[in-house]
Every structure is written in C-alpha cells, then in structure tokens.
Structure 1
Amino acid sequence: MSKLKSLIYQNSSKLNDSEIRIIQFVLDNAKLCKNLSLSELAEKLYVSRSAIFRLCKHLGLSGYTELKFYLNEVCLENEQNNNKMNFANNFGADLEKETENLRKYFDSLDLAKFYTELSNASNVYIYSTGWIQQMLSNYLSHELLLFGISSIVLPAAISELEMVGKIAQKGDMLFIISYTGDNKEINDELTKFELVNNKLRYVSFTDLKQNELASLSDYNFYYPTIKFTTTKNASFIMAYSLVDFLVNKFDIWRKEKSEQNDK
C-alpha cells in the first residue's frame, strides 16, 4: 500500500463527504492530478483551494506539494497493478442490470404527492456536493425547465444553504444531491432549518438507500453508481436516468391531471 493510501486509511474518520470525494478523484486520477497546480485542481473539482488544503492537513500532510509528491508513488503502484491484471469487461452487463433495477425501483414509487408539491412550489432550489453532483444539478435544473419548473442551482457552499433557510417560503422545495448522504455539515444545517423554518420540503438524491440525509428528507431518490471496468471510478449515468424517469412521469402525471379536470 502506498504512503498516501495508508494516510487516508488512518485518517478517514476526519474526512467529511466532500473531502472523501476529492481524495477519491485524486487517487483515481493520480497521473493527471500530479501535474495540476492547486488552483487547477480546485477549478476542476468545483471546490475552493482552502478545501483541498484542509484535506491535506486532515491527512497529516504539510500541504498540497507533499500530496503531489506521494502521488508519484500512487502512479507507480497503479501501473504495476495494471500490468498484472487481466480485465473482464463487466460494465455493459452491470449497466443493463442496474437499468432494469432502477426501472423496477422507480415503478414502485407513488409520486402523486411529490409531483403535487413540486407543481405548487413557488421556489425550487438545487444544492449539491462535489463536482460530479454539481453537473447533475445543472442537468436536473435543465430538465425541470423543459416542463415549466424554474429552479435555482446553488453554489456548493454552506452559506448558500443557510441563506435558503432564511428566505424560504411555505411550500418551497430544496433538492440536495449527495453521494453518500452522510455529509455532517449539510445534515446539521438541515436539522437547524427544521427548528427555525419548517417551510421547506426536502428532496434528496443519494447513492445509498439508508443514510442520514434520506432520513431528514421528505422524499429520497436512490441512484446506483456503476464501476468502470479498469479503474475505481464510477459512472453516474443512472443518476441522469433517474432524473429522466422523474421528469417523464411528471409530464404524464400532469397531463392526466389536466384530463381529469376537463371532465
């Protein structure tokens, strides 16, 4: 095991959800990241320079320069492992399996109340953690707009979440897109909302069915991730499929409601 991976293992309890996503990206893309400056990596991950620096400190490193030094060892280790492994391409089979599982899961959901509240919401906010989730936020916002629902995509900063808690009106809806749903900082903030402003309806998107965020949310939607064949990276294609399932059924639900009202 490389020195960096050993440090991650030893200090994993100190890392929050965002830091875990950062270090996972760095490990999975060590060859790329070892040549990036601190500013370039921060821009690529849609996080601040200070967030990466805090991660280094939590790992017991002096700073980003030392992190890059240990990435050379990770690159060498990855190259040796790749030379030893004989890969079988399971991605296609896994994708087919998870697509069917997602369809069955989605078909089991009763979404009438959710769609009613979404239609009635004066304001819809979308908050996410991590750069992959940020892209999914933008996609969700675009798809909702196609069906007449305007939304505000918030920057990945707790201060933005705090502001929503202060200005929310009754019936407003807040989507939170998280990988594990166990980001303590976000969950603590949502808990505080309930104490001072219970007007918001929470909708979470997570990779895990059982998590703290899901328990705090009025509605939780689960999306599976699929591992790529030759790396530890994960495909989020099912999260995008979940959004498509949601907006497609929303359109059907809305037309059915319109027909019922016309009778």
Structure 2
Amino acid sequence: MANLRSMVYDSNTKLNDSEKQIIQYVLNNPNDCSKLSLAKLAKKLYVSESAIFRLCKKLGLSGYSELKFDLVELAESNQKPVKIENNFAKELSKVNVDVLKYFKQRDFNSLYRDLDNASTIYIYSTGWQQELIAQYLAHELFVVGKNATVLPSALDELKAASRFAKKGDVLFIISFTGDNNTINEEIMKLELINDKFKYVSFTNMMQNKLASLVQHNIYFPTIAFTDDADFKSGKVAFTPAYYLIDLLISEYVAWQQNQGEDVEINVGN
C-alpha cells in the first residue's frame, strides 16, 4: 500500500483549497481523526460527507474506511523514531564506477587539442550548483597552466565574452538538463555570428538539445543523498561531476606529456 503522505504529495495538483485544508488537518491529527466516523469528521471540519469521500477518491483510496486505516498506520509511525535508509556510500561507489567506465569509453583527444590551443577557456553555468562546478573546473585548469574565466550566469556576460574572445577559445556551458531554451537559443545565435569558440556542454542528461549544438559534450550523473520514502526532496550530490573533472584534467596532463614526447622523437629523427 502506498504511503498516505506520498499519495497526498502525488495528488497535490488535483486538490482544491478546501480539500487541501481537510487533508492537512487529518495528517496533522491522524490519531484523533482515525477514531471519528465520516459524519463526525465532516461535522468537525464543517464540510459535507461527500466532500471527504471525493477527497478519498482523488487520493486513490477506495473510500473513508481506507483513509481511517491509513491514518491509524500514520499515527503509529509518528510514535516511532523515523529512520531513513541511507545507501549513499554504496550508491556513490557504484555511480563513480559507471563514470569511470563512461570516461574510458570516450575519446577526448579532440577536446584536449582544443583546450591546448585555447588562449582562454570561458566557463558559463546556469545555476548555483553549476557555478560551484564551474569554479572547481576553473581551478583545476589553472593548476595545469590554462587561463580560465568563470562567467556570471547572465546572458549579457555570455555575449560580452563572445566579443572579447579570440579564435580557438573554448566555452564550457554547465547546465543541469541541457534543455534551457534561452541558453540554447543564445548558443545558436553565437554560432551563427561568431566562429571563435569551440563549445563544450557539461550536462546531467544524456540526451539534450545543448549537446546537439556543440562540438564536445560531456555527461555527469547525480546521486540522491537519501532514500526518502515520503517526498522527492531533490537533495542530490554532484560528486560524480567533480570526479569526472578530475579524470578529464588528469588525462589532459597525460595527453600533454605524450605530445611533448612525440615532438622530442620527431626532433631526434
């Protein structure tokens, strides 16, 4: 049986204001309400019995009897200490293994070549979590001797960068989904009027519009901190994105060293 709070969460958009007030009351007072008949609960809340019955149907319940049963369970669960199962370490380990497999399957030589030729690497992000990733990427590029500039999350800054950029500079766009219409339209405009940039998308979604617009695309997964049985909290970790950046930078350094060895061999011959 689905958890009552989950059913309320999933049905929230179907409920009118009166129904939301009813369900809020019964959720806050499950023990008292589970002992009331339909008539008594209706009288207590100053609503009709049919209003409560319709609410039950919207929640996916067979009727008031099933609501009372769920309220009993909710009252009992409220008296027990809540323990949310946390498999974060296990899931993170698995996701990082997947990231490594993905990285090894990709050929980033053309990206490394573009990074090496760029006088400046610009990094544009579309949110505060993405901006943190941008700052980290800029730091790691600086460590290996590349000049990186993080742009504020504003279209005007993106347009300004396109004016000041030199041919061959690289522009990273860090977007969670890659389906931000405003950003994607701006990238299409820039590509039409400005052939300076080599574009790199860094997104969470494997299939997205942004990835189809750029020369290089990189994907990173995210992972939830906890298994929340009641609500989709949206609390996710971006650890795999940072791990992927470390892999990219490490491999880029190795690529640079190999390039240097190839030059020495050619000179020697």
- Normalising by structure 2, we get a TM-score of 0.66
Q: What residue is the counterpart of 1:237 in the other structure? A: 239
Q: Show structure 2 runs of 5+ residues with no match.
A: 1-7, 15-74
Q: What residue is the counterpart of 1:59 in the other structure? A: none
Question: Does the residue aligned with 1:255 lie in a helix, a strand or coil?
Answer: helix
Q: Report the Cα distance in structure 2 between the residues aligned to 1:191 and 1:232, rounded to whole angstroms.
A: 30
Deviation of 1:87 (Å): 2.6
Q: 1:131 aligns with which of 128, 132, 136?
A: 128
Q: Report the Cα distance in structure 1 between the residues aligned to 2:104 and 2:204, rounded to whole angstroms.
A: 18
Q: Report the Cα distance in structure 1 between the residues aligned to 2:165 and 2:85, rounded to whole angstroms.
A: 50
Question: Does the residue aligned with 1:127 lie in a helix, a strand or coil?
Answer: strand
Deviation of 1:169 (Å): 2.1
1:256 has 2:258 as partner: yes
Question: Does the residue aligned with 1:176 lie in a helix, a strand or coil?
Answer: strand
1:156 has 2:171 as partner: no
Runs of 4+ in 1 over 4 A off after TM superposition: 82-86
1:246 has 2:248 as partner: yes
Q: Report the Cα distance in structure 2 between the residues aligned to 1:6 and 1:132, rounded to whole angstroms.
A: 28
Q: 2:89 aligns with which of 86, 92, 96?
A: 92
Question: Does the residue aligned with 1:171 lie in a helix, a strand or coil?
Answer: coil
Which of the two has higher C-alpha Rg? 2
Q: 2:213 aligns with which of 216, 221, 238?
A: 216
Seq. identity, %: 44
Amino acid aligned to 1:228: F
Q: What residue is the counterpart of 2:111 in the other structure? A: 114
Q: Report the Cα distance in structure 2 between the residues aligned to 1:137 and 1:256, rounded to whole angstroms.
A: 27
Quote the RMSD (CA, aligned, Å): 2.3
Amino acid aligned to 2:263: N
Deviations 1:199-228 (A, max 9, x none): 211111100010011111111110000011
Q: Report the Cα distance in structure 1 between the residues aligned to 2:120 and 2:89, rounded to whole angstroms.
A: 39
Task: Work out the number of aligned pairs and report it.
Answer: 190
Equivalent positions of 1:1-263 (< 5 A) are 1=8, 6=13, 83=78, 86-229=83-226, 230=228, 231-263=233-265
Check conservation: 2:223, 2:238, Cα contact below 8 A.
Answer: yes
Q: What residue is the counterpart of 1:10 in the other structure? A: none
Deviation of 1:86 (Å): 4.8
Q: What residue is the counterpart of 1:22 in the other structure? A: none
Q: Show structure 1 runs of 5+ residues with no match.
A: 8-79
Q: What residue is the counterpart of 2:57 in the other structure? A: none
Deviations 1:69-90 (A, max 9, x none): xxxxxxxxxxx9x958653222
Check conservation: 2:119, 2:147, Cα contact below 8 A.
Answer: no
Amino acid aligned to 1:210: Q
Q: Report the Cα distance in structure 2 between the residues aligned to 1:191 and 1:166, rounded to whole angstroms.
A: 15
Deviation of 1:167 (Å): 2.8
Q: What residue is the counterpart of 1:57 in the other structure? A: none
Deviations 1:37-64 (A, max 9, x none): xxxxxxxxxxxxxxxxxxxxxxxxxxxx
Q: Report the Cα distance in structure 2 between the residues aligned to 1:91 and 1:220, rounded to whole angstroms.
A: 27
Amino acid aligned to 2:153: A
Larger deviation, residues 235-244 vs 168-177 = 168-177
Question: Does the residue aligned with 1:164 lie in a helix, a strand or coil?
Answer: helix
Deviation of 1:140 (Å): 0.3
Q: Report the Cα distance in structure 1 between the residues aligned to 2:167 and 2:90, rounded to whole angstroms.
A: 45
Amino acid aligned to 1:167: F
